[in-house]
A and B are shown apart, each in its own frame.
Chain A
Amino acid sequence: MPNYLNESQIVDLVEGIEVTGSTLKGKMLTWIHHVVLPIKLLFVLSLVFSMARIVTAGEGPYFVTYNHHMEEPGSLELSLSPVWGFPGITSNFMGVSAEIEYGVKGWWTMEFYLQGQGTDGQGALFTGYRWENRVRPLLGEHKINPVLYVEFEDVNGADRAFKEVVGHDSKFDLLEPISAARLTAEREFETKLILSSNFRGWNVAENFIAVKNVKPEPWEFGYALGVSRPLALAASPDECRFCRENFLAGLELYGGLGEWGEFGLRDTSHYLAPSLAWQFQNGTTIRVSPSFGLTSPSIPLMVRFSVSREIGGFTHQVREWFR
């Protein structure tokens, strides 16, 4: 973004925007979009979850960072991940991702996302989809384990999933009303180099991100770093929901690195996000993470939440249905 408005100009601009949420109808619509729709989605997911026959454990505490641990071959993981954003300079929002992750091979994981969002006083909408592939070129476990990541996404400008931060992404992008932002198509290819290591129970992961819009726009860059560890390294002998080994704590740092020809930290957003995952015996994982904006273009606070369920041996189960 070449020319930024200063803070006071932005406040003036926001005050000038007509806010429909102040009416009773607007408030009702907001309530429906923020409460009823997620409940419906949870209900549908719970039906799917109840079909699970064989299950294994879920994943780590990261929301933005990827490590080298792939989905088990033939397993399916379903997740619902809302993120609440509190930008301060404009309306609060909730972005939602419904995710389906599948282990094609031991070295290849595929994931498909459907995304939507709701903004206070502005309504809610489906924003698009993304399709990602992760491949491990080195099959064994090494000190540093590389993973290659390729993704295509077709979302509109109103998307609020914040699965990554690149280029000069900033809270000022949110000033555009979603009715206008939705008209902008963002078809992008995203690549990541994921490097990840395990050491004495710790996982350390570094992601280098490069995004290219299919339109003639410059490459945008970003990064994500994560460190995590289970609260206990050895498992306890008893079945227990609150055992320390069922909890993983993590810390993520992610942000933009500018774009081609303007690489660097100037006018970029950066976030620090502690996170916690709670894994259940039945393969369900609950994760939560507040993200704190570190620079002036960053959204001051985002709160992420995720519930996921892994269905082990999914391919085998499907094969049995058609036998």
Chain B
Amino acid sequence: MMTAWLLLSQYAASGHNGRDRQLTSELSKVPPEARVRTNPYEGKQDAYLAGRKLFQRHCSGCHGKDAKGGKDAPDLQSPPVRDATPGTLFWFLKNGDLKKGMPSWARLPEQQLWQIVSYLKSKN
């Protein structure tokens, strides 16, 4: 009984961990010079509020209203996002991962991308 429970819980966790591993691998493609960029809006309450608004408008359709992820999109409160630098998230938002389904958000001005980063980092 104990073995069955352990196997089941391991199976349930493997999907989540698999997605985390995939996200970690995707974030690892971000060039080093982009990772060290700092968020010009860091710590600003207005940027967090604007970022929340932008997230609801552009991202929540796939990642969920609370950024907990959807069927085809990862949890943005997971360790890989929590541990990523603001520059890493900014680069990933701008470039996307078109092969894996993450669109490029280069259509948004950089200021708005940084505001979304502010919101994501505050969630973590």
State the A residues within 8 Å of B (CB).
54-57, 59-60, 68-70, 72-74, 103, 105-107, 136, 139-141, 198, 200-201, 203, 230, 233-239, 245, 281, 312-313, 316
Contact = CB atoms under 8 A, between A and B. Distances in A.
B102 interface: yes
A68 B103 CA distance: 12
B27 interface: no
Contacts of A230: 109
Nearest to B52: A237
Contacts of B110: 200-201, 233
Given A237-B50, A245-B112, A316 B103 contact: no
B100 to A, nearest CB: 8
B96 interface: yes
Contacts of A74: 72, 101
A72 B106 contact: no
B112 A234 contact: yes
Contacts of A68: 106
A106 B101 contact: yes
B106 A70 contact: no
A239 B106 contact: no
A313 B61 contact: yes
Interface in B60-93: 60-62, 70-72
Given A235-B115, A237-B46, A245-B112, A60 B98 contact: no
11 contacts: A69-B106, A74-B72, A103-B103, A140-B104, A141-B95, A201-B109, A201-B110, A203-B107, A230-B109, A237-B49, A238-B53
A209 to B, nearest CB: 22
Contact of A106 (B57, B102, B107, B111): B102
Given A69-B106, A198-B106, A316-B72, A234 B95 contact: no
Given A70-B103, A73-B103, A56 B58 contact: yes
A105 B71 CA distance: 17
A144 to B, nearest CB: 13
Interface of B: 45-47, 49-51, 53-54, 57-58, 60-62, 70-72, 94-104, 106-107, 109-112, 115
A238 to B, nearest CB: 8
A234 B102 contact: no
Given A106-B96, A141-B94, A57 B57 contact: yes
Contact of A233 (B46, B103, B111): B111
The 3 closest A-B pairs by CB, nearest first: A106-B98, A237-B49, A312-B61
B99 A139 contact: yes
Contacts of A69: 104, 106-107
A70 B101 CA distance: 12
A277 B109 CA distance: 16
Given A70-B98, A106-B101, 20 more contacts: A60-B107, A69-B106, A69-B107, A70-B104, A72-B103, A106-B99, A106-B103, A107-B98, A200-B110, A201-B110, A233-B111, A234-B50, A234-B109, A234-B112, A235-B111, A237-B47, A238-B53, A312-B61, A313-B62, A313-B70
A219 B82 CA distance: 54
Contacts of A57: 57-58
